[in-house]
Amino acid sequence: MADNLRILGVNAHPHDFTHYAGTLGIHAARGDEVTVVSMTAGSNIHNETLGDELIKAPEDRDPAIMNQTAADYSELKETELRTACGIFGISDVRMLDFPEPFRLDSSPGAIDAMKEIILDVRPHIMITQSPFLLGRMHDIPDPTRDDHSETAFASIEARNQASIAVHGMTVPPHKIAVTYYPGVYFQRNQLDFIVDISDWFDKRVEAEATYISQGHTPEWSHRRMDVTLGNLGFTSGVAHAEGFVREKAELMTELPIPASALHEATATHEEMLKSRLGQK
C-alpha cells in the first residue's frame, strides 16, 4: 500500500461530499491527499431561502434575496463547500460549474474535465456518486435522468479514459485502484463496509450547518447527523458511522477480518455500550 493515499471525491452538487466527509477527514488527518470536485455549482437546487420568500406576498419579500442572481448563489455555494472542506483539512476543492440539471448529453465536456483532474491528481481511490439507476436516492419517474447518476457515468468514463494511453497525450495514463460509492444512496443491507467516524461527528455537524443557503441551522444539522450517522453507527456498534459500497468485488490474498470484528467478538457488554456511546 502507498505510504500516502491520494483520494478523489466526485459529487454532483457542493453539498454531496458531506455524505462521506468524516471518512475524508480521517484520511486527511493521516496525511493522505484529498481532492473534492463538484460537477455543478448547485445554483438550481436547495434554494430554500428563495423559496420561502416566494411564498410571501410580493410586498413582503426581501429585495436582497429576490435580486440575488444565479451567479451570486453559485458563489455562495462554492464558499460553503470550501468552508466545509476546510473543516476536515481539505484545501484542494474544484468547482466545475456545469449547467443544472447536469446531463452528459448536454455537457459532454464533463468527461474531458474529469479526465484532466484524474491525470493531475492521480488518485488511488475515487469516491463518486452511485451509477445504479434504481438506488434509494433515485426514486423518480425517469431514474436515468438524475444529476447524481449522470455524474457517476461521467467520472467512471473519465476514469476509464484516463487509464488508456492515446496519441497526443503528454502525461502517462493513470489507473485508479478502487472506486467506492457513498452508502447514503443504498439500503443498509447493500453496504459493503462502514467507517467509524464517531470522533468526527462534531465536525460533520459543523459542516452540515455551513450550508446556510439550504436552510440548515446548527440545531437541524445536529439532529440530522445524529439520526442518520447515529442510526448506522448504532447497528455497527459505534456512535456514528458512514457507509460505502464497492464498485466490484476486490481480490484478496487471504480472508479479510478487520480488527473491529475481532474486538467485538471478545468485548464485554460494558465495552460495547461504551463503543456505541462513542466512549473510548
Highest mean pLDDT among 98-107, 143-152, 264-273: 98-107
Q: Where are the domains of the chain?
A: 6-250
The Cα 40–Cα 74 span in angstroms is 9
Give Dmax over CA atoms of the chain in angstroms.
69
Q: Is the dihedral of CA 203, 204, 209, 213 positive or negative?
A: positive
| pLDDT value at residue 134 | 58
| CA atoms of 129 and 154, how far apart (whole Å) | 10
How far is the C-alpha of 274 from the C-alpha of 280, rounded, in Å? 7
Residue 37 · residue 10 · CB < 8 Å: yes
Residue 159: the pLDDT is 98
Q: List, for residues 34-76, the tens digit of each pLDDT value.
A: 999 999 998 877 888 888 999 999 999 999 989 988 888 899 9
Q: Once rounded to an integer, what is the mean pLDDT over residues 119-127?
A: 98
pLDDT per position as a tens digit, 125-150? 999 999 987 554 444 445 556 899 99
Contact 129, 185 (CB under 8 A): yes
End-to-end CA distance of the chain: 28
Question: What is the DSSP secondary-structure string of 34-72?
Answer: EEEEESS--TTS--HHHHHHHHS-GGGS-HHHHT--HHH
Query: pLDDT at residue 2 above 70?
Result: no
**pTM for this predicted structure:** 0.91
| Percentage of the chain exceeding pLDDT 70 | 95
Report the chain's mean pLDDT, rounded to a whole number. 92
Output the CA–CA distances (angstroms, integers) from residue 77 to 6, 116, 146, 211, 213, in the order listed.
Answer: 25, 23, 20, 8, 7
Tell me if the domain spanning 6-250 has CATH number 2.170.190.11: no
Task: Extract the C-alpha cell encoding 46.
Answer: 436547495
3-state secondary structure of 215: coil
What is the dihedral sign for C-alpha 235, 238, 243, 246?
A: negative
Average pLDDT over residues 161-182: 96
Confidence at residue 223, expressed as pLDDT on a 0 to 100 scale: 97
Q: How many CB atoms lie within 10 A of CB 175?
A: 12
